[in-house]
Amino acid sequence: MTALVGHLINGEMITDTNTRTQDVFNPSTGGVDKQVALASKKTVEEAIASAKAAFPEWRNTPPNKRARVMFRFKELLEKNADTICKLIGQEHGKISHDAAGELQRGIENVEYACGAPELLKGEHSKNVGPNIDSWSEFQPLGVVAGITPFNFPAMVPMWMFPLAIVCGNTFILKPSERDPSSTLYIAQLLHEAGLPDGVLNVVNGDKEAVDVLLTHQDIKAVSFVGSTPIAEYIYTTANANGKRCQALGGAKNHAIIMPDADMDNAINQLVGAAFGSCGERCMALSVAVAVGDEAADTLVTKMSEAMKSLKVGAFDNASNDFGPVISAAHKQKVQGYITSAEKEGAKIVVDGRDIAVEGHEQGFFVGATLIDNVTTTMESYEAEIFGPVLQVMRVKTMEEAMTLINDHEYGNGTCIFTRDGEAARYFSDNIQVGMVGINVPLPVPVAYHSFGGWKRSLFGDLHAYGPDGVRFYTKRKTITQRWPSSGVREGVSMSFPS
């Protein structure tokens, strides 16, 4: 019998009665390993009710006690890392070393959340007026929700719920129904660390579950990571229902290759940034913009050679560089973008469309692909491919390269490879992108900064995790207090206080 993945509500694992289900595939084999229960409206409402009931006591739990739960949670994550990485590999296809890197970045966000007493201590001013003191507090919102994508089933949820919880909120997590097991296992570890029942609830589901979270009056804020069309829907719907929302969308990340770049270093960096995790990263570098034909020719020649050594295969062989894409449908979509580029006049230098992995012939594999002579009018350039495809564009100047980056609808991440400090500084000052690397291809901020793009890569004012995360999951309250001296009576004043 195929295992059924359920929900975690009020500290207990449950499944709906007569529930709808969806297959969970092993992308390396193409086979169905499990099924996941898709939450009904009633089930999501039960989770929200559980979180609402848990909120008053958790809100009043001292921040240092909340932080101690996170310290124990961190230890359990590290202790059970192999199990978590195996679950990621089985359902996502991510190679074990890549899954371990994802988990570590998630743990770093837990470490940041352990600083709750410092993060929440507020601001104080004495004697802002005669015998008047004023201070600000950062209070929790209530019940908040997170909707997370398939490509980082461990890390992205930990961008959200650890910080939201240590800030005093209770949380409803709706992970991707494509690879739910690692997310659910991690939530169980948090309960093992001592989190009270109802503070974190996990509901698996599809649009039916999402729409309940977006419209229910008891949900005060929603965090989302996924594609831009869905991010826009999430943001618009949440706002229409009076909720705070941060919705991180898609990307088309460019790397400018300057003529003076250390080309060997750039190639090594680009290989990992373009093809790591099979390109299924919102920070994947999918476009290399070479300044000058000489740089472009060298880039294409050296990249083609470097790609020959890449190993594609199943998650449990650590010698593999990357694994399959998430589904058969997504495999066809990625292959379709490669074909469209070819039909529109681009040159397929390295073709990964027909790759076969011995022993895993039914897996959802796409090989590393390199495409030259791409232009801005091509479908493959305009879209987020989300696969192991690197496109090369040729321009004459750095200004031309920056213009095409700034003109693109997405503004998530970008980088420049150069030895010229003046060029690097000009680039970082003037590029219209939220996360910028200088000789760093994946400029993902560390946990004590914040993550987010510009333009249609982010809907909302606050970025994810870090300082912005604290502000997103709290509301400021400012108190002004006076204790008049004994026996002193003040007269009536009709003027505005100053």
- The residues assigned a catalytic role are 282
Q: Are 462 and 160 in contact (CB under 8 A)?
A: no
Q: Could you give the CA distance from residue 449 to residue 155 in angstroms, rounded to a whole number?
A: 15
Nearest CA-CA partner of 88 in 101, 99, 76, 102: 99
Q: What are phi and psi of 22, to 5 degrees?
A: -140, 145
